[in-house]
Structure 1
C-alpha cells in the first residue's frame, strides 16, 4: 500500500505510532491545513513521510499514492472520500463512514464502478479477540441480553457548556455521543448479531445534539442496550448473557483488549489472543492485503456491515429527533 493521509490530528498521530510495525505500508504523503503544518513537519521527520500537502488536489495528483486514509472530522468524510475515489484511489475512511446512509450507498456505487477498494476503519471487526467472541457465542446458549457501555467524560463538554461548540458537539459537523463513541458499540453488536428488527434511541440532548444516550436494539430473541456518554463517566464494559453462560469485555468495544468467559458449572476463563498491542494494527494489515489482492468481494462484505450500522444510526437519530449535517 502506498498511502496518502488526509488529516493531522490525534487519530493520525496514533496511527503513525503503529504503522511503523507494518513496513509494507509506504507513507507517500500527508495533507492538512496551514495550521497543521507544524504537526505535519514533525510527522514527516519522525515517520519519513515523503510529501506534505495543504491542498487535496496536489495530494491526489501524486501518482505514487494508490490509497487514501481519510482521518478528517466526521462531516468531511463523504466529500474527501468521493474526491479520492474520483481520482482513482482506494480509500480507507475513519468512522463514522458518512453522515447518512444515502451518502454511503453513493460512495459504494462509485467505488465499485471504478473497481476500487472502499472500507471503513473500524477496529473491532478485525481484532482477533473480537473474532473469537463471535465463535464463542454458540457456547453461551440462547443469547438473551447484551449491554455495551462506553461512557467517557469529554473535556470538550466543559467548553460546550460554556458556549464553545467544537466538532465533537456540533450537529452540523456530525458530532454527538452516538456518532463519536456509541458507534463503536453498534459495530460491535452488528458484527455479532446482524441488523436488528427495531431501533430506539433515548438521548440526553443539549442545543440539538446528544451529549449521551441509550440505544435499544431489538432482535427476535435478544435485547441489546448500547450506552454512550460524553457528559458523564462510568465503568466501560460490555456483557453478553446467554442461557448457558456469559462473556464480559472489560474496556471499550473498539479495543477488546481481553474478555472473560463464564460457562455455567465451569471455572471462569480470561481470554486474550491479540496479536499486537495497538488496536489499529490488525485492521491495517488486512487493508494492505485486500488492496494488494484487489479483493473487491471482501470489501463489499465490509461495506454491507457498514451500511447496516449507518441504517441503525439514521433510525436512532430520527427516533431521538436529532438532525445532523
Structure 2
C-alpha cells in the first residue's frame, strides 16, 4: 500500500482518507497540523498508529511515507507542495493547485527533477459517469456547444454579509467562486474539449472584494461553453453538451448520478447511459484509486495528461481574474 500523510484536517481531507482507505491501496501514516492537539484529535478518528507532525519540514523528510495529500487553505498550496516535493514525495494537491501559472510551473519542474508526481485533485473527471459522458461525445457528431453549471449557496456567505471575511471569500487566501467552484466546470471543459482559445468572466462582486459567483464563457474554434458558477446562489440547472446528432445531459458536474442521451429525432425519448455512482461518503474513492494506480505504475503518460488539464485550468482562472481586477496578494 501507499503510505501517505495529510496536510489539512477539514472535511475534504476526511473524505479523501475514506475514499483512499476504501481502495485498499492507501494507508494513512502521518497527520500534519500547526497544532499538535489538533493533529492528535484528527488522528484519533483512525484505528492505526499515526505519526504527528507540527512542522512541514519534518513531514517532508518523514521516511515512513511516500506521498502527501494537501488540502490546506488555497494560499498555502504552493508553499506546502513545494516543500513536500523537494522532500522527494508525491503530492496530491487539492484544487486550485496554485494561485497562478508561475507557481504551478515551478511545482511541476521540482516534481520532475525529483522523480515524483504532482497531481491536482480534480475528483469529478475520474467518476464513472463523467467518463461515460466523455466517451459518448463522438455520438453527438459536430459539437455545437455546452452549458456546465455548479452553483451552490454557501452558509459562509451569511458571515460575509455580516461584515466578516471567510477564507473562501477572501482574496488574501486566494479565495473566490471562480477558483472554488468554477474550476470544476473549467476542468470538465478542458477534459472534454481541450484548452479553450479564449475565456471571459462576468463576476458578481461581494463586499469582501472577491467574486461570489459569475458567468464564464469559454470559446473554442467552432463552439462555446457557458459556465454558471456561484457560492451565493443555488441552481438546479443540469449540465449539457449538445451537438448535431443529439444532447448529453447530466444533473450535476460532480457526483454525477445519471447520464442521459436525447435524440433530436425522437422527441420525448431519453436513453439512460449512466451507471450507479459511488456512495456519497466514498465520492473520492475513484480519484484515490486512479492516483494509486498512477503512482504504483509510475504512469508518466497519465501524469502528463493531468498536468495538461491543470495548466489549461490555471490559464483560464488567472487570465479571468486579472481581467476583472481579482488580484491575490502576490499579484498586487
Question: What residue in structure 1 maps to residue 171 of structure 2?
Answer: 171
Question: What residue in structure 2 maps to residue 299 of structure 1?
Answer: 303
Question: What residue in structure 2 maps to residue 158 of structure 1?
Answer: 158
1:45–1:255 Cα change, 3 Å: closer
Distance 1:87 1:37 in 2: 25
Q: Judge conservation of contact 2:245–2:264 (CA < 8 Å) in 1.
A: yes
- Which shows bigger deviation, 16-25 or 178-187? 16-25
Q: Say which SS state the counterpart of residue 301 (structure 2) adopts.
A: helix
What residue ranges of structure 1 are gaps of 5+ in the alignment?
none
Q: Judge conservation of contact 1:238–1:250 (CA < 8 Å) in 2.
A: yes
What residue ranges of structure 2 are gaps of 5+ in the alignment?
none
Q: Say which SS state the counterpart of residue 199 (structure 1) adopts.
A: strand
1:49–1:19 Cα change, 3 Å: farther
Q: Does 1:273 align with 2:275?
A: yes
Distance 1:65 1:16 in 2: 15
Distance 1:29 1:85 in 2: 16
Q: 1:312 aligns with which of 305, 311, 316?
A: 316
Displacement of 1:256 after TM fit?
Answer: 2.1
Displacement of 1:39 after TM fit?
Answer: 6.5
Displacement of 1:222 after TM fit?
Answer: 1.1
Q: Judge conservation of contact 1:246–1:262 (CA < 8 Å) in 2.
A: yes
Displacement of 1:193 after TM fit?
Answer: 0.6
1:247–1:40 Cα change, 3 Å: farther
Q: Say which SS state the counterpart of residue 20 (structure 1) adopts.
A: helix
Displacement of 1:203 after TM fit?
Answer: 0.4
Q: Judge conservation of contact 1:91–1:118 (CA < 8 Å) in 2.
A: yes
Q: Give the aligned length.
A: 323
TM-score normalised by length of structure 1: 0.94
1:152-175 CA distance string (max 9 Å, x none): 111111111111111100001111
Displacement of 1:86 after TM fit?
Answer: 0.6
Q: Judge conservation of contact 2:33–2:39 (CA < 8 Å) in 1.
A: no
Q: Judge conservation of contact 2:176–2:212 (CA < 8 Å) in 1.
A: yes
TM-score normalised by length of structure 2: 0.92
Displacement of 1:8 after TM fit?
Answer: 0.4
1:115-160 CA distance string (max 9 Å, x none): 1111111012212211221121111122212111211111111111
Displacement of 1:279 after TM fit?
Answer: 2.5
Superposed counterparts of 1:1-325, under 5 Å: 1-34=2-35, 37-38=37-38, 40-206=40-206, 207-251=208-252, 253-266=253-266, 267-274=269-276, 276-277=278-279, 278-325=282-329
Displacement of 1:37 after TM fit?
Answer: 3.1
Q: Say which SS state the counterpart of residue 165 (structure 1) adopts.
A: coil
1:171–1:42 Cα change, 3 Å: closer
Q: Judge conservation of contact 1:101–1:310 (CA < 8 Å) in 2.
A: yes
Q: Say which SS state the counterpart of residue 125 (structure 2) adopts.
A: helix
1:262-318 CA distance string (max 9 Å, x none): 123343112222563332111111111111222223212211111011001111112
